[in-house]
Structure 1
Amino acid sequence: MSGVETVVHGVLSGCIVVFVVTWLLGALYFGVVAHGSRERARSWLRGLRASLPARIALVACIVVLQLLTGGGHNAFWQHLHYWNPVLGVLGAALAVASTALLVWARLVLGAMWASVPLVQEGHELRTSGPYSYVRHPIYTGFLGVVVGAMLGFGFGMWVLITAVVLPWLLHRVRVEDDMMAAEFGDQYLAYRLRVPALLPLRRIHL
């Protein structure tokens, strides 16, 4: 492993750690805030129970995948491995920027964040900060970290991880958009028309 590859892998691993820690601290913070409101806590617990089967299935799939593929080190995944220093550095840069976006969005969202899609008691629509560029900046950041890891780690098993993450994120976007539209009505529909979902690309009005 070259020096550049070692640095890139270290940066990517750090980004993944920051992402996990942010998610865990966010869940803890939300739990503390929710402790002061029984209805908010009940709402969060209902969402958590509803998503529990999917979470268990996801963990089971990861374990089975690791067992079947040898943790990504068997011959099949090695055929998909391609390391390029330029792509590696670009991947690391993308992961760092995406991690910063993810943390920024998490801070702006504050107590409105939850690990499952739900409308909380006294829910407020966030449209400032990163939410003025994309409607789902946390998902944008997560996707950027995954794609950056795929480039930085040299594809391999990360191709499959990216292929699984992308449709899941698109599904979550649809679910949350429908939920927010039902809660905020025309306010969210106008926001949805004005701001793209995941990629901060200007909309073209003909």
Structure 2
Amino acid sequence: MSGMQGYGFWVFAAANAALFIAFAYSFARPLNARDWRSFGAFSAFIVALFAEMYGFPLTIYLLSGWLQTRWPGVNWFSHDAGHLPEMMLGLGVNPHFGPFHLLSTVFIIGGFWLVAAAWPVLFRAVRAGRLATTGPYAWLRHPQYAGFILIMTGFLFQWPTLVTLVMYPVLVAMYVRLARREEREAAERFGPEYAAWQARVPGWFPHLGGGASGAARPS
């Protein structure tokens, strides 16, 4: 374990987790208990991620025998080796500038943008007692949940761990269930207005080519 020079920085892990959670909170301020549950689950994912990224590399430790056998030339307890996709594919580039890291950056920035753009639209709609149908809600019915999923997907591309890989499908399923519950409540409250918006705007994937017109797609 003397080779774990890239880990053990628990203060740094806590600081990064707190920073990302606070950053997400500034964009997606929970409005009710349901929002707090979804935000709390996202926060748990972030804590688990940075605990392995800078604290203790549980995934690397558990897989170290297999990894060392398959890729004997890699110092698996160095920090860079935590970027598993780049290291396992032997791309020979700085993992911070590798294709998976760059793709993860696109997903993370896109996710934060989606959450940030959706929240004020939803907040104004809730205050006015009306349905949110403008901004990102003109493209997706669940932009905030989709944004959190994009962020988590990005972090998986960048730094996959056994814990976050297990948490990811559980959290996605949770967001889908929350979205369906909200849809039932909105349908009861807004009736034909909601039905028309639902038929026009997809739930999770925007229509290719832009716009929200056309036949409804599966959620």
Query: How high is the TM-score relative to the length of structure 2?
Result: 0.59
Paired AA for residue 145 in structure 2: Y
| Alpha-carbon offset, residue 204 of structure 1 | 6.6
Runs of 5+ consecutive residues of structure 2 not aligned to the other structure: 7-12, 68-81, 87-97
Deviations 1:14-69, CA, capped at 9 Å, x for gaps? 6554213334xx24xx5xxxxxxxxxxxxx5xxx3x899x78x969x98xx99xx9
Paired AA for residue 125 in structure 1: L
| Alpha-carbon offset, residue 162 of structure 1 | 1.2
Any idea what SS the aligned residue of 1:173 has? helix
Number of aligned residue pairs: 163
- Report the counterpart of residue 201 of structure 1 in structure 2: 207
Q: Residue 23 of structure 2: which of 18, 22, 32 is its match? A: 18
Closer/same/farther in 2, CA of residues 72 and 173 from structure 1, 3 Å limit: farther
- Report the counterpart of residue 150 of structure 2 in structure 1: 144
Any idea what SS the aligned residue of 2:131 has? coil
Structure number with greater CO (CA < 8 Å, separation at least 6) is 1
> What CA distance in whole angstroms lies between the structure 2 residues aligned with 1:205 and 1:111?
28
Closer/same/farther in 2, CA of residues 191 and 51 from structure 1, 3 Å limit: closer
Query: How high is the TM-score relative to the length of structure 1?
Result: 0.62
Closer/same/farther in 2, CA of residues 101 and 172 from structure 1, 3 Å limit: same
Rg comparison, structure with higher value: 2
Runs of 5+ consecutive residues of structure 1 not aligned to the other structure: 3-8, 31-43, 114-119
- Report the counterpart of residue 185 of structure 1 in structure 2: 191
State the Cα RMSD in Å.
4.1
Larger helix proportion of the pair:
1
Q: Does 1:157 align with 2:172?
A: no
| Alpha-carbon offset, residue 76 of structure 1 | 3.7
Q: Does 1:107 align with 2:125?
A: no
> What CA distance in whole angstroms lies between the structure 2 residues aligned with 1:137 and 1:143?
10
Moved beyond 4 Å, runs of 4+: 12-17, 69-72, 77-81, 202-206
